[in-house]
Amino acid sequence: MSLRKTSPADFEHKFADVNGTRLHYVVAGRGEPLILMGGWPRTWWQFHKVIPLLAKHYRVIAVDIRGMGDSARPAEGYDKKTMARDIHELINRLGFERAHVYGDDIGGQVAFSLAWNHPESVDGLVIADGIHPSEAMYQFPMVPRPGQPVYPWWWATGLLDGLVESWQAGKFRAIIDWNIEHIGGDPSMFDEQSRDIYAAAYNTPEAIRATNGWFRTFGQDIADFATYPKLEKPLLYLGGTLLPVSKPVVEAFSTTVAFVEFPDAGHFLAEQHPERFADVLTRHFG
């Protein structure tokens, strides 16, 4: 399902050829550029509620990162260093030297890598529930402890090359519903249209192969992370119920970080609390 047929008329859908791939992005508003990047199992559509709010102040660019939505699905390049290069080149292609950057989940990992590898492209930086892969990932148990707040089973199943595509293809609506019910937050905030849009974006073997590339490159991401110094760029980190899991890890590799908690929110902040989300970003970016 192409979202170009379902999104508001004032959202411009565009494409850019960057770093050997093609990215789809949605543009709205005027002002300083603000890049929005989301994660699994969603698309740029996760920002459809906040784009009109943020577009009052910024030139909003909501990106389908490599492999997502209407962007290309190349055979390789899903390590976060390469994906960060995609965004660095996109910022330049759009005629900007720098941009405010927000990322969550996989988009947050890309935002971290962008800040390390292309700091000149990043003005303000906000990340939510998106820890860059590090050695800490190897400590996640195969069997979760009772009461463990998050169990990222999709990291492991995403490594089942070939099998996961045949297993999940055509059945992704069930995975979308499971995520909304278990980690998304208030299920009533996710209408049938959004659930169907996400399911359609991930339902084919090719889409599943591409988006699982984000997980299959974790080994390279962890090796790259070992070469990075502590992040010195000021960072605002957001989180809901998963913030206690993320906070100590982020504190360990960032020298200047502030945290904002959404105490009654799950993993999908922009969809569950669009007004507060937009207000926090606007206050931080100025």
| Two structure tokens written together for 223 | 């090796």
Mean pLDDT of the residues in the chain: 94
pLDDT of residue 6: 54
> pLDDT of 144-168, one tens digit each?
888 877 788 899 999 898 899 999 9
Please determine, for residue 131, whether its predicted confidence score (pLDDT) is greater than 70. yes
pLDDT confidence band for 269 (50 / 70 / 90): very high
Beta strands 21-28; 58-64: pairing state: antiparallel
pLDDT of residue 144: 84
Mean pLDDT, residues 186-202 taken together: 95
pLDDT of residue 10: 78
**Site of tokens 């009654």:** 264
Please determine, for residue 142, whether its predicted confidence score (pLDDT) is greater than 90. no
Please determine, for residue 264, whether its predicted confidence score (pLDDT) is greater than 70. yes
Residue 159 CB neighbours (<10 A): 14
Q: Is the dihedral of CA 92, 94, 99, 102 positive or negative?
A: negative
Spatial separation of the C-alpha atoms in residues 157 and 214, rounded to whole Å? 12
What is the amino acid identity at position 245? V
> pLDDT of 211-257, one tens digit each?
999 999 999 999 999 999 999 999 999 999 889 889 999 999 999 99
pLDDT of residue 184: 83
Please determine, for residue 1, whether its predicted confidence score (pLDDT) is greater than 60. no
pLDDT of residue 224: 98
Please determine, for residue 201, whether its predicted confidence score (pLDDT) is greater than 70. yes
- What is the count of structural domains for the chain? 1
Please determine, for residue 48, whether its predicted confidence score (pLDDT) is greater than 90. yes
> pLDDT of 179-190, one tens digit each?
999 988 889 999
Domain that holds residue 207: 3-285
* CATH value at residue 198: 3.40.50.1820
Q: In what order do the strands lie in the sheet with 58-64?
A: 12-18, 21-28, 58-64, 32-37, 99-104, 122-128, 235-239, 257-261
